[in-house]
Amino acid sequence: MPAADLAADLRTLWRMLRGQPRQGRMAERLQAFYAPQAERYDAFRAGLLHGRQEMLARLAIAPGSKVVELGCGTGSSLEFIGGTVGQLASLSMIDLCPALLAVARRRAAEWPTVQVIEADATHWRPAQPVDFVFVSYALTMIPQWAEVIDNAYAMLKPGGRLGVVDFHLPASGSRLGNWFWRKWFGHDGVHLSGEHLTQLRRHFTVHFCAERRATVPYLPGVQAPYYLFVGERPPATGD
């Protein structure tokens, strides 16, 4: 790895070791945490945030669709969606952190149908119902994550699909393992829960669901638990 990249990774690790600030409004805490990491965010998180491309492939976003991403960060999903971005009716990318949104705006500049919006994923809504919503590693950063699931449900058309990928505490995990991951991630404001899948299954008809583990950069010998979920909003009662 080039020395400059290693130095940037070390700065990111230092920020992560110091943890997410505990004081202030959520947007200010996110900005303080992410601003020093924003330019190197994608390279570092590539080795940590597994399954994003697979979740999007399984979500199967169709050309002509209206799409929302909640908690878009730097907009790296644009790379994963690829050429289909240009064929979408619209893609609204929502986040609360200005430093990461600045990177997302640069990335989105070539796509006239992509809007990058500073807003809270618990209550921002599009003007019209949409066909697809996805959330990648953001539910664990939002204490009111259940409200984000409710919000995604509310903004989807009946038959529309939600894709989620995130860390979690698996029911099959050992007590010690789940304790370790809860502490390790909690330090950086990432709050692991065993409840996401229960809540997602309650709202959506399951198309795909998998629980997995994957490596963590600079933490040899351990694998963090994460899940992939794709579900459909059932037709409204009486349809």
Task: Name, in order, each residue with C-beta under 8 angstroms of 221's C-beta and a sequence gap of 6 or more.
Answer: none
Task: Name, in order, each residue with C-beta under 8 angstroms of 194's C-beta and a sequence gap of 6 or more.
Answer: 168, 169, 170, 171, 178
Candidates 11-19, 56-64, 134-142, 170-178: pick the segment binding ligand SAM (CB under 6 A).
Answer: 134-142
Q: Are 94 and 73 in contact (CB under 8 A)?
A: no
Separation of alpha carbons 139 and 70, rounded Å: 9
The one among 8, 37, 85, 95 contacting ligand SAM by CB under 6 A: 95
Cβ-based nearer residue to ligand SAM, 56 or 156: 56
Q: If binding is defined by CB under 6 A, does position 8 make contact with ligand SAM?
A: no
Candidates 7-15, 132-140, 152-160, 196-204: pick the segment binding ligand SAM (CB under 6 A).
Answer: 132-140
Separation of alpha carbons 66 and 62, rounded Å: 9
Handedness of CA 138, 143, 147, 149 (dihedral sign): positive
Rg (CA), the chain: 17
Q: Are 189 and 96 in contact (CB under 8 A)?
A: no
Candidates 53-61, 71-79, 108-116, 149-157: pick the segment binding ligand SAM (CB under 6 A).
Answer: 71-79
Candidates 91-99, 174-182, 191-199, 219-227: pick the segment binding ligand SAM (CB under 6 A).
Answer: 91-99
User: What residues between 34 and 53 interact with ligand SAM by CB under 6 A?
Assistant: 45, 49, 52
The one among 38, 100, 133, 162 contacting ligand SAM by CB under 6 A: 100
Cβ-based nearer residue to ligand SAM, 88 or 94: 94
- 238: exposed, middle or buried (C-beta count within 10 Å: 0-12, 13-18, 19+)? exposed
Q: If binding is defined by CB under 6 A, does position 170 make contact with ligand SAM?
A: no
Cβ-based nearer residue to ligand SAM, 121 or 155: 121
The one among 59, 81, 88, 97 contacting ligand SAM by CB under 6 A: 97
With CB under 6 A as the rule, give the number of residues binding ligand SAM. Answer: 22
